[in-house]
Amino acid sequence: MTAQATAPAASGTVVRRVLRRRRHDDPGQDPRLSPLWTFVAWLATLAFFAPVAWMVLTSFHQEADAATNPPSPLAPFTLDQYTLLLERDITPYLINSGMASVFSTLLVLVLAVPAAYALSIKPVEKWTDVMFFFLSTKFLPLIAALLPVYMIVKDAGMLDNIWTLVILYTGMNLPIAVWMMRSFLAEVPKEILEAAEVDGAGLPTVLLRVVAPVAMPGLAATSLICFIFSWNEFMFAVNLTATKASTAPVFLVGFITNEGLFLARLCAAATLVSLPVLIAGFAAQDKLVRGLSLGAVK
């Protein structure tokens, strides 16, 4: 609900849009939940959140307190697990994850933004077909690509290389980014674009003054989604990396074996690797919905 309100359009659609958005703008208008249902809502919320809470709680316990039956949630707290993890070898994995996610997200944006421009503001002919081509690549299971990708990467001597992951994650996220950026750029008011052109504004001015203000929230939402999907990716990471380029999820499945009591440290590691996405997702909840639905739900 940014540009739409100001976008002039045929009067009928304006009315429709205003009606459709009314509740969205003012959640205070929503009817209240009765106390009984409030209780049910909170019970369900806590049930869903309980595993996360248990993970965080366990991560602050000693191993001996973490693996008791019945559970001992009130055992003394300690930061030992986190110190151990950071002292040992989680850091390079986190750096690898960060590099793969950040670089692939940047590459996605560099490719997706001009493409979205050519699909919305100055659309090429048959632009809907192009959109559906991008989407169709997303429907195809990654697993079917694993074998050929593995063989190509092996022949090119690019196994266990962070840039291999960057390229694959870019391919994986590019269709999502094109769809999302198009949905944001499509909100740039056509009339203002045309007026600017009639007034003789050059392309840089139009991009900076008219397109950028609308595109910025879109860039943020797109980056968030691409970052989440790259950060969490496991299948390519576990099959294409060995020691140098392994990412955080590979570390997680690797350190369990033969460690004896490990539950508290596992929970600490799981908390640590989930933290960047949890923070980003909590901070940008509204953008999350639009991103997950490829821009279809606003």
Partner 1 sequence: MTTFVPPPTKTDRPPARPLALAGAKKWRRRFPLLPALIFTIIVTQLPFVATLVISAFQWNILQPGDRHFTGLSNYAFVFSDVRLRSAVLNTVVLTASVVILSVLIGLALALLLDRRFLGRGLARTLLTAPFLVMPVAGALLWKHALYNPDYGLFNGILNAVYRFFGADNGPSVDWVSNLPMPALVIALVWQWTPFMMLILLAGLQAQPGDVLEAARVDGASALQTFTHITLPHLRRYIELGIVLGSIFVVQTFDAVFTITQGGPGSRTTNLPYEIYLTTFRKFEYGQAAAAGVVVVIGSIVIATLALRTVASLFREEEVSR
Amino acid at 111: L
Q: How far is the CB of 3 from partner 1 (least distance, A)?
A: 12
Q: Is 106 in the site for partner 1 (CB under 8 A)?
A: no
Q: Is 293 in the site for partner 1 (CB under 8 A)?
A: yes
Nearer to partner 1, 37 or 77 (CB): 37
Decide: 2 and 286 in contact? Cβ < 8 Å.
no
| H or E element that contains 11 | helix 11-25
Decide: 241 and 159 in contact? Cβ < 8 Å.
yes
Q: How far is the CB of 161 from partner 1 (least distance, A)?
A: 15
Q: How far is the CB of 55 from partner 1 (least distance, A)?
A: 5
HSE toward the beta carbon, residue 136, CA cutoff 13 A? 6
Q: Is 231 in the site for partner 1 (CB under 8 A)?
A: yes
Q: Burial of 168 by CB count in 10 Å (0-12 exposed, 13-18 middle, 19+ buried)?
A: buried
Q: Could you tell me which stretch among 44-52, 76-84, 156-164, 212-220 binds partner 1 (CB under 8 A)?
A: 44-52
User: Which of these, 251, 219, 256, 222, lies nearest to 238 by C-alpha position?
Assistant: 251
Q: How far is the CB of 271 from partner 1 (least distance, A)?
A: 8
Considering only residues 134 through 193, tell me which ones interact with partner 1, judged by CB under 8 A.
134-152, 167-168, 170-171, 174-175, 178, 183, 186
CB atoms within 10 A of CB 200: 7
> In the set 60, 81, 248, 287, which binds partner 1 (CB under 8 A)?
248
Q: Is 219 in the site for partner 1 (CB under 8 A)?
A: no
Tokens read off for 274: 């989930």
Give the separation between CA 9 and CA 296, rounded to whole angstroms.
Answer: 20
> In the set 195, 212, 216, 297, which binds partner 1 (CB under 8 A)?
297
Considering only residues 57 through 86, tell me which ones interact with partner 1, judged by CB under 8 A.
58, 66-71
Amino acid at 61: H
User: By three-state DSSP, how is residue 294 classified?
Assistant: coil
Q: How far is the CB of 83 from partner 1 (least distance, A)?
A: 19
Nearer to partner 1, 13 or 91 (CB): 13
